[in-house]
Structure formats: structure tokens, C-alpha cells
Structure 1
């Protein structure tokens, strides 16, 4: 495991960019794939409960597929992180970015033939859910191992809690308040951008291609920073 990241590290900026792509991916899944999250598993667990209770509009299968494939992605990332922990950080980051971008672009390729209104073909629905969920599971496990405070890139519950609970109004010192607010704004902005792209184009292709490109380009820029030469596990 890596120690807490130094202030001079480019990782916080990269993780804010990845937070923006989370908004893009969840806009694709929620608006285009029928109320399923592929980045936010808490929502899927809640929706799965609705489906199991027989609530109209909620089906069990998509949530189970998302949860299972997300865990597959996390498992793969855990193994790769352990294998690359002694190598330079840039190797780990670029490997993770390439895998994630390929998965997102693969989902975009499948989406070329996917009709949002008809949710067809049926196999395409589950294939897009699976590929994006694997990508997000892979990302979450990688970020977890990087241990950058207040930047999970996908979950905001604790971040928003910290903004209030650690504020001066609550008797705290508002640690990392700028980073916490930036994280919320990044996901909010990505979700708004993704929603506009999905609604206006009627397609999932552009937001998925954009998300993959941002992940790859942002990580490549981070990898050229001098600190990325250090071993990932140091």
C-alpha cells in the first residue's frame, strides 16, 4: 500500500478528472440502461432491494450483473496492484488507465448498435452494463490502494459528511475542504455533461468515448510527473 500522497503529487488532480468521468459513466448507465448504476454500487444495492420487493420498473438481473462484474473488476485491480506495487507508479497508473479506457471504448462500440428507447438488443444492455461496471470496479480498487484522502472518485457520502462535520461551524478545522468540494463539483459536472450528451444525441457512444479518452490522457499527463518514477508501493 502507498502512503498518503504528498501535496506536490499530480494524483489529486488526476483523481478529480476521474471523478468527472464517473459522472459521465453514471449518466450513461442511469439514463441509458434503465436505472442501473455501474459506478455507484450503493445505489444498485438499494435498487436491488426494490426489485426483490416486486416494485414496478425495477428488475433484479441488471443490478446483479452490475454488482457481480464490478467485483470482478475490483478483483483484477487488486491482483494487478499487488503485482506492480514494487514498480514505478507510472507503470501501475498507465496499466490501469489502458485497461479502463479499453473497457469504456468497448462499451461504446457495443452502444453503436444499442437503442436506448427500446433497450435493445437485450444482450447489448447487459454487455454495456458489464463492461462499464468492470471498468469502474477496476478503478475503485486501484484508487483504494493509492490512498489519496477525500478523493474516492465515485462515492460522495463521506465526502459531503466531512464537509459539514469537520467544518468550523461544527468546531472543526475544515481539513481538505477545497479538495472535498472540488470532488463534489467534478462528479456533478460530469453527470450534467453526460446527461446533456445522452439526451441530445440519443446515444451512449460519445460520453463513453469521452470518458475513456479523459482517463487515458489525464493518466498519461500524470505519468510524466517526476514523482511517478517512484515505486508505487514506496
Structure 2
């Protein structure tokens, strides 16, 4: 489905909601799992470079683990998306949301009893990294196939660049400025909420919240008549 075909769909609103969950997941992983990203791979590559140079406080394994899980999730989503090409969009959205939410809810179950301060039990760290990395990789590949401009739900570098480079001060026409600002604000909001929940109660609540927002928001989007169109 191309960008012009999504114009009558509530997809932009759904993607803004998903951007909130990105902030939640990054707060969970960075603050709760020891300075590792499971939604934003750029940070992991940078941290991996720190670890490779022997910088104290950075270990190679968590970043490699997160990147590998993310790639597996993206690979699966790519195959799922191609398999459902030509099917109603709502079917694909439901499958994608169900998988992503289920992975986050399973991670919440694993996080019960996990102590953020001591990072114990240690096995839980790797499992939660894997589950959230799979979910976010699946998410990114799914959003990539939707092709909605300026709403990647996870990466803001190009969004912020566009706000400046396409602004009136730069001689531009400010295309999609509201959507771009909304994307930045959504991830900021999710990160703030996630940070509060992690620091005041651990990982379970933000993981449950992220999965619930993803699933509920997708169901609401599916109810729109235009979601019956083929992908």
C-alpha cells in the first residue's frame, strides 16, 4: 500500500501511538536492562563501538544480542508482509499487533521478580532483550512496508532534519510539519512515562502498557472501513 492510499486511513494516528510505545520500550531497555536499546539500533552500534574499545560499563554481548533479535524480528515481518500482500490491510495489522503485543506481554511475565538495581536474575536480562528486540524488529519491518511519510515510529534523526531543512527559514514549505512534531513529541512522551514507571516500579508495568497500547490502537484502526482494502 502506497502513501497516497493511506490518506483516508487513521494510520498516522496509529503510528503516533506506536511512537509512544517506542519511547516506553527504550526506557525499559536503557534504564532497566543495562544501557542497551531494543527499539533503536543506532544506539547499539555506538555502544558496541564503546564496548569494542574496552570502555568501562559497556559489554559486547548485550548489543550483539539485541541487534540479532531485532534482525530476526524484521526478517519474520518481511516474510509475513509478503505473504499477506493482496490481503485486507486489517488482517495484516491484526497479525502484526498480536505478535508484537504478545512478545511484550511475555517479556512482562519474564520481568516479574526481576531486580533492576542488581540486574538479577541474569538470565531474565537476555530473555527480555530478545523478546523486546524481536518485537521492535517486527514493528520496524511492518512500518517500513506501510510507507507512511515521516512516521517511522522509532527513528527521529531524519524527522528532525526535515523539520529544519524543509522549514520556511530554509526556503522550504514545511511539509508534514505537524506529523513530524507529533512523532518527536510521541517518543518523548513515551520515554518520560517509561522512565517514571521503570524507576518507580520496575519493568512489568511499562511492558504491559506498551503491549496494550499497540493492540488496542491497532484494533481501533482496523475498525475503519478503509482497512478492508488490500495491502
- What is residue 4 of structure 1 aligned with on the other side? 3
CA RMSD of aligned residues (A): 0.6
Count of residue correspondences: 230
Please state if 1:21 is matched with 2:42: no
* Aligned-residue offset at 1:113: 2.4
**d(CA) in 2 for partners of 1:133, 1:193:** 20
1:31-60 per-residue CA deviation (whole Å, 9 max, x = no partner) reads: 000000000000000000000000000000
**d(CA) in 2 for partners of 1:70, 1:162:** 26
Unaligned ranges ≥5, structure 2:
none
- What is residue 225 of structure 2 aligned with on the other side? 226
- What is residue 153 of structure 2 aligned with on the other side? 153
* Aligned-residue offset at 1:92: 0.2
1:75-120 per-residue CA deviation (whole Å, 9 max, x = no partner) reads: 0000000001110000000000000000000100000021111111
Report the secondary structure of 1:174's partner residue: coil
**d(CA) in 1 for partners of 2:117, 2:31:** 10
* Aligned-residue offset at 1:145: 0.2
- What is residue 162 of structure 1 aligned with on the other side? 162
Structure 1 residue ranges, 4+ long, deviating more than 3 angstroms after superposition: none
**d(CA) in 2 for partners of 1:191, 1:36:** 14
**d(CA) in 2 for partners of 1:25, 1:67:** 15
- What is residue 77 of structure 1 aligned with on the other side? 77
Unaligned ranges ≥5, structure 1:
none
Report the secondary structure of 1:219's partner residue: helix
* Aligned-residue offset at 1:7: 2.7
**d(CA) in 1 for partners of 2:9, 2:66:** 33
Please state if 1:88 is matched with 2:88: yes
**d(CA) in 2 for partners of 1:33, 1:211:** 16
**d(CA) in 2 for partners of 1:142, 1:74:** 8
- What is residue 206 of structure 1 aligned with on the other side? 205
**d(CA) in 1 for partners of 2:46, 2:63:** 9
- What is residue 173 of structure 1 aligned with on the other side? 173
